[in-house]
Chains A and B, each alone.
Chain A
């Protein structure tokens, strides 16, 4: 199975700050990487698919990138509504696997 190592586990940042979350894949997954945001009591919402493509309705302050087998989600100017838990997910092969999540809070 492909392991997705996500960091940090938690993050506290100020409004308007730049925030970066990373996921390291245990093997090559190409661009089969997605990012999700989950708010309390809600299902995960797709933010980024195919490593860099923004899902419909997602603000442009969210962006995704890749360097080798390391994938990053960047929030360029943190807003209050961005608090939640963020997950990466690889779709290169079954079983699909997820990162362990990053809890993002406002400082």
Chain B
């Protein structure tokens, strides 16, 4: 069974940084691309980043490009999202998700990030 467990969220001030982690189990982590997706309170889903299985390619949403960095450590079965220059509009639940067959995603339970002064 695929398990994805996010951590590292919290309340931070605008302009600060935060690093999220996602520990994967139940599948061969090093064989799959991974995504970060977020959901602002009472809002829809926004994809923010993708990393290939071997870190050879990384893609970002325009809203986070230059501020967020996706990375992974296949030896630790862990996905990361480093977030800098945080803004109030980055307040959201952040989910990591595993790429699956034909584009379907398996999701973690999410971690909340609140950016507020």
- Write the residues of chain A forming the contact surface with B, with a CB cutoff of 8 angstroms: 31-34, 36, 42-46, 48-51, 53, 55, 87, 89-92, 94-101
Are B103 and A91 in contact, with the CB atoms below 8 A? yes
The reply to whether B101 and A49 form a contact with Cβ atoms under 8 Å apart is: yes
Q: Which of these, B102, B103, B104, B110, contacts A43 with CB under 8 Å? A: B110
Contact indicator B100/A49 (Cβ below 8 Å) = yes
> Which of A32, A50, A91, A97 lies at the interface centre, i.e. has the most chain B CB atoms within 10 A of its CB?
A91
Shortest beta-carbon contacts, A-B, top 6: A91-B103, A49-B104, A50-B102, A96-B47, A43-B107, A34-B104
Closest residue on chain A to residue B107 by CB atoms: A43
Nearest-Cβ distance from residue B58 to partner chain A, whole angstroms: 10
Check A87/B44 contact, CB under 8 A, given A43-B109, A94-B59: yes
Where chain A touches its partner, the secondary structure class is loop
Chain B residues in the interface with A (C-beta under 8 A): 35, 37, 44-47, 50, 59, 61-62, 95, 100-110
In contact, A91 and B102 (Cβ under 8 angstroms) = yes
A32 near B103: Cβ-Cβ < 8 Å? yes
Which of A50, A95, A99 is the one whose CB lies under 8 Å from B103?
A: A50
B98 to chain A, nearest CB (A): 10
Contact at B95–A89, with CB atoms within 8 Å? no
Q: Flag if B59 contacts A50 (CB, 8 Å).
A: no
Nearest CB in chain B: distance from A53 CB, A: 7
Q: What chain A residues lie within 8 Å of B104 (beta carbons)?
A: 34, 46, 48-50, 53, 55, 91
Nearest CB of B to A64, in Å: 11
Judge whether A98 and B103 touch: CB under 8 Å. no
Given A87-B44, A101-B44; A53-B101 close (CB under 8 Å): yes
Cβ contacts under 8 Å, B45 to chain A: 44, 87, 89, 98, 101
Q: Which residues of B contact A100 (CB under 8 A)?
A: 44
